[in-house]
Amino acid sequence: MSERTSTALWSVALLLGFLALWQWLPPALGVPGFVLPTASHTWSELLRIWGAERLLWHSGITALEVLVGFVLGSALGAMIGYALGLSPKVEAVLSPYLLALQIAPKVAFAPLFVMWLGYTVYPKILVAVLIVFFPVLINVLSSMRTMDADLINLARSFSATRGQVFLLVEYPTSLPALFSGLRIASTLAVIGVVVGELVGGNMGLGYLLVFFEGQGNTAGVFVTIAALTLIGIVAYYAVAWAEVKVLHYLPRSGGASA
């Protein structure tokens, strides 16, 4: 049996064990169903919500907001990170303001965005952009700061222009750090969107969370959390897959995985 197959079997066994404990342990301990519903009750609630509450539609809205927020925030963070890395003077001018924006709690902007833009998808996307922006920016900027000066000097010795140095040396060298930031940002985008939906939403999984909380429907909350987790997993592994395709030339250790 290969190591990969063995790992998969152990993962499945762990999942089955968790589901078994979830199904039988709460009733055995006398935990009420409204506090901790069993696995079978949660599954039944999933089937009900799928049709009655349009779970797939709400999941699609949240997934779209996550995608747009992730793309916009990552692009903005990467562009500003490269710009600051290429110009220390610009970095010195902007760094106090970027630091202040980074320190400010991002979720506190959600009510403000709702007041400005109303109960639309735009406040959720803006919160996601704000949260995604900094991990990408910091990773790119750190990579540019620690760039190998010998590589840059070698390129300049061949009469490379500033743009050629960036495109042929600095940008490719910073790609591993950029993807590290993107992997972090892919999960943070889900958090940003949910915060926006919790504060002022009439659609999406964050809205369903508030709706089921108001009903005291614990199983429905679990189903919604599971749907959000699934969106985050898909986003993370999509970035990891893109990283493998783009950085296929980099050596990987035998135990490394996406």
**CB-based contacts of 12, cutoff 8 Å, min separation 6:** none
Compute the distance between CA of residue 192 and CA of residue 187 in angstroms, rounded to an integer.
9
254 burial via Cβ count (<10 Å: 0-12, 13-18, 19+): exposed
Instruction: Return the CATH number of the domain spanning residue range 48-246.
Output: 1.10.3720.10
Interior angle at CA 182, CA 187 and CA 84, nearest 5: 130
Closest CA to 196 of 123, 115, 132: 123
Chain mean position to CA 68: 12
Helical axes 218-246 vs 39-52, angle rounded to 10°: 80
Compute the distance between CA of residue 242 and CA of residue 86 in angstroms, rounded to an integer.
26
Q: Where are the domains of the chain?
A: 48-246
Yes or no: say if 81 and 138 are a contact pair by the CB < 8 Å rule: yes
Q: For residue range 146-188, what is the model confidence (pLDDT) as tens digits?
A: 888 888 888 888 888 888 888 888 889 999 999 999 999 999 9
Q: For residue range 6-29, what is the model confidence (pLDDT) as tens digits?
A: 888 898 999 999 999 999 998 998
Number of Cβ within 10 Å of residue 145's Cβ equals 11
Interior angle at CA 231, CA 225 and CA 237, nearest 5: 135
User: Using the 8-state DSSP alphabet, how is residue 106 labeled?
Assistant: G
In this prediction the pTM is 0.88
Q: For residue range 202-255, what is the model confidence (pLDDT) as tens digits?
A: 889 999 999 998 888 999 999 999 999 999 999 999 999 999 999 877 666 444
pLDDT band at 257 (very low <50, low <70, confident <90, very high): very low
Q: No. of H helices and E strands in the chain?
A: 11, 0
- 3-state SS class at 152: helix
pLDDT at 158: 83
Compute the distance between CA of residue 175 and CA of residue 171 in angstroms, rounded to an integer.
6
Compute the distance between CA of residue 83 and CA of residue 89 in angstroms, rounded to an integer.
10
Yes or no: say if 95 and 36 are a contact pair by the CB < 8 Å rule: no
Closest CA to 219 of 47, 50, 52, 37: 37
Q: For residue range 99-152, what is the model confidence (pLDDT) as tens digits?
A: 888 888 888 888 888 888 888 889 999 999 999 999 999 999 999 888 888 888
Helical axes 55-86 vs 218-246, angle rounded to 10°: 40
Yes or no: say if 231 and 63 are a contact pair by the CB < 8 Å rule: yes
Compute the distance between CA of residue 243 and CA of residue 183 in angstroms, rounded to an integer.
9
pLDDT band at 256 (very low <50, low <70, confident <90, very high): very low
